[in-house]
Structure 1
């Protein structure tokens, strides 16, 4: 039985992952913003041992406290930390409103650090465990449709690279999960295409990537070759290809 902390547990993706882990008998501590939604996810986890805690992640002091409380709730032993919270924000507004740009960066990058710093210290002292964090393929290259969100996720990717190398001597795995678009409430207003994945499929792929101790996993897998092309397209050409650089 693993001891698992899940941050952002009420997201559609995280909820599906929690159900999978609960079915295996893992002990779960679920953290999210909405107590009612947390209770609903806990109920879906059947007979597993589940505790919950709520709080606002962008309140950095509260986020750090939630991390420490999660460790205590699992009696001081943590086998897996899964960080799944995030918010696309309003790209158009963020281009002209400093507060919205700062909110997007705070939610998708800084608040994650507030969780990871105490948790990384705990797992380093423990000399075991896994940290898995959802980022996004949007962090691979700046595009007009989501570059504020993408910049925050790109910064998180670099941070996780450094954290992975720091924790490697202690036997701690850090897995970066680069997700493409998923058909969830967060993308409800987005036009869907064949590249959108279902939460159940994404949950399965996340579970596999963590089990295999992957350093970086594109979820679903087909984003790896797609983003290789996107990353290496020369900027003068990139700017002329509307399907890449358009809104």
Structure 2
């Protein structure tokens, strides 16, 4: 890969990893696809189409590799989590392109035209796929949501978004200790977590404690996603950037619940 192409791609990798993880439902599987994409580029840098820009070309290449299924299934070695196992069952009944389109246009912020170029569809086809994906995912079981957020206006926005999707907010926790206590009091079906909280405590620490006692999908919300997407340590599968677009949060919730174990319902 040429030096200039490497420099252009480097700042895009945290976001490609975010997309890959949301699509695959796990850090391990998502990162494996990203590595395969980079290895293909190293082998032949001409395979990336840069006519629409390096970012669109990179995602377009990833899309081709994803559909070619170059990575073994996540459960091939028996290590798949309940989320991944459930996802594979649900994926078999959902058109893959509708999920890819939803993620590209909401989580990754591509326009309809850009998304169409990435997946090689017309804009009208992309619009229909997005509608399909939302309808299919919304048919999943509604759940109870724990929000860990110390900013009142942001927590109000998140509450409104959660409830607009038909879910219920069990509690809004402003500190790590409040969050841990809330989860113990009422098992959530989903957690939306900020990272820096009111008393200086950490949303990451709160989530670690919660996950030590139960299996629940978590969406982290932060102003600096690149700090959590280095590929050097265990990282969140679902990550949303502040300031957020409500549609991005909706898509993130739908995706997180898509991978939620069918037996992991709210108490």
* Greater strand share, structure number: 1
TM-score (norm 2): 0.27
Normalising by structure 1, we get a TM-score of: 0.28
